[in-house]
Structure 1
Amino acid sequence: MTDRRKLTPRQRRRLLASPAGWIACGLGSGLAPLAQGTFGSLAAILPWLALRHLGVPLYVLVLALAFALGTWACGVAGRALGVDDHRSLVWDEFVGQWLALLPLLVLPAPWWMVVVGFALFRLFDVWKPWPIGWLDGHLKGGLGVMVDDVVAGVYAAVVLAGIAALLH
């Protein structure tokens, strides 16, 4: 279940009392008063600017490690908050956004394609075409928080790669 309510002061303290909570809330970006997913996706672009220089094999390894870290952190944070997927848990947006921008590591593209990648990821994350919506409704815990955004990131990456290929 995704919780759409604001964090209570007690929930906020519980979330920020552990490293898992800090990671799960996207290093604070998920604590925005509204549009937490959008703020999380925007915040993810800052570390991406450094990660993009790793080369594809190391970048994919970082994605896998970030997914595993997020599965753990979002599970711990969700239990601390008493919900499966609170909107303040945005580490999934970080991983999904990084996955969406993967084509820009290998295909030549102008800088504004980062904006296109951001918009595509947000579109698929909000729209939730199959199987994203199904995964979001059926998987629980940290894995449930993470998986739907990974699939949204894959969808966005495929479309972004197509656009970049057409431009080249």
Structure 2
Amino acid sequence: MAVQGQLRRLREQLGLSLRELSQRTGIDASALSRYERGHKTPRADTLATIAAALGVEVELRPARSANARFVDALSQLQADAVAADPTLLDRAREHLTGLEGTSASAEQWRRVLDAGPSAVIAVLTSTSPDVAALKSDSPLAFVVQVSAQRRRELAEAARAS
């Protein structure tokens, strides 16, 4: 979630006004308001000060590329489809038939599919960089149909975020 959404949600959960958070942090209330609305991004040290006042920790991670966010969005659609219809795993297995020994990811997917829907969903919804390539080679991409229009919308959203 974006910083601004987190800041406001946490402040409101604690029942704090902007003025009260300003007093706790020593940061001007108008600056806090700009951070919450996304009009300005706080520096890392400022964010750490705000987080401490809200009783949370800040975790900084490298930004994900638009392509990675697009793959994540497509993978989420596939995960949702599997949750709704686990028989899709059989069709994905059929897609892998004949690909024995052709790629490491085919063998990995075969093992994941054999582990069942929850394992497939776990891979598809993982944000770990270690599974990014596996998600990109998902056999479910051939089973779960996504319209060209929906793909464009997902790509635009990935570029915008």
What TM-score does the superposition give when structure 2 sets the normalisation length?
Answer: 0.25
Whose RCO is larger (CA < 8 A, sep 6+)? Answer: 1
Between Structure 1 and Structure 2, the one with more helix by share is 1
What TM-score does the superposition give when structure 1 sets the normalisation length?
Answer: 0.24
